[in-house]
A = this chain, B = another copy of it.
Amino acid sequence: MHKKIMYILALRNQSIAMGNSKLYKGSLNTIILKLLEGTDKMYGYEITQKVKELTKGELTITEGALYPALHKLEAEGLLDVEMAKVDNRVRKYYKLTESGEKETVNRLSELEEYIRNMETLLNPKWSIE
């Protein structure tokens, strides 16, 4: 029973953290796909750490968003899973399927187009008109 109490009392450090910028909804899947495109295979926790590292702690992927997203990408056939046991702990490695690689290209160009459009809207070149 001690353990149970400890779990409950244990302060969750989930988002006590730093000034993280918000994640605009819809971009998480693309982030996941892009990371996997560059690194062959990764597991969930690794993804959260990689994003934190690359953005210097500015962007945090919550696990509550990540794991359902991974499951969905797998269900859609874009990712394959492979279990591994490291130090008695289970890891689930994800990698792109063939169709996942194709889809990654699409999602990336979609996101890049969106960013271009946002920059068009935010850059006030047109306001001198």
A binding-site residues for B, Cβ under 8 Å:
21-27, 31, 34-35, 38-39, 51, 54-55, 58-59, 108, 110-115, 117-122, 124, 126-127
A58 pairs with B121, CB closer than 8 A: no
A113 pairs with B58, CB closer than 8 A: yes
Q: Is the interface of A mostly helix, strand, loop or mixed?
A: helix
- Residue from the list B25, B54, B121, B122 in contact with A121, Cβ < 8 A: B54
B25 pairs with A24, CB closer than 8 A: yes
Please name all residues of chain B whose beta carbon is closer than 8 Å to the beta carbon of A25 when the two chains form the complex.
24-26
> In whole angstroms, what is the CA distance A81 to B75 when docked?
47
A34 pairs with B110, CB closer than 8 A: no
CB contact under 8 A between A120 and B24, given known A115-B115, A127-B38:
no
- Residue from the list B39, B58, B113 in contact with A127, Cβ < 8 A: B39
Please name all residues of chain B whose beta carbon is closer than 8 Å to the beta carbon of A38 when the two chains form the complex.
124, 126-127
Please name all residues of chain B whose beta carbon is closer than 8 Å to the beta carbon of A59 when the two chains form the complex.
114, 117, 121
B39 pairs with A114, CB closer than 8 A: no
Closest B-chain residue to A112, C-beta based? Answer: B122
Please name all residues of chain B whose beta carbon is closer than 8 Å to the beta carbon of A23 when the two chains form the complex.
114
Beyond the given pairs A22-B110, A39-B127, A59-B114, 10 more chain A to chain B contacts, judged by CB atoms under 8 angstroms and listed by A's residue number, are: A21-B114, A24-B25, A27-B118, A31-B121, A35-B121, A38-B126, A54-B126, A112-B122, A115-B118, A115-B119
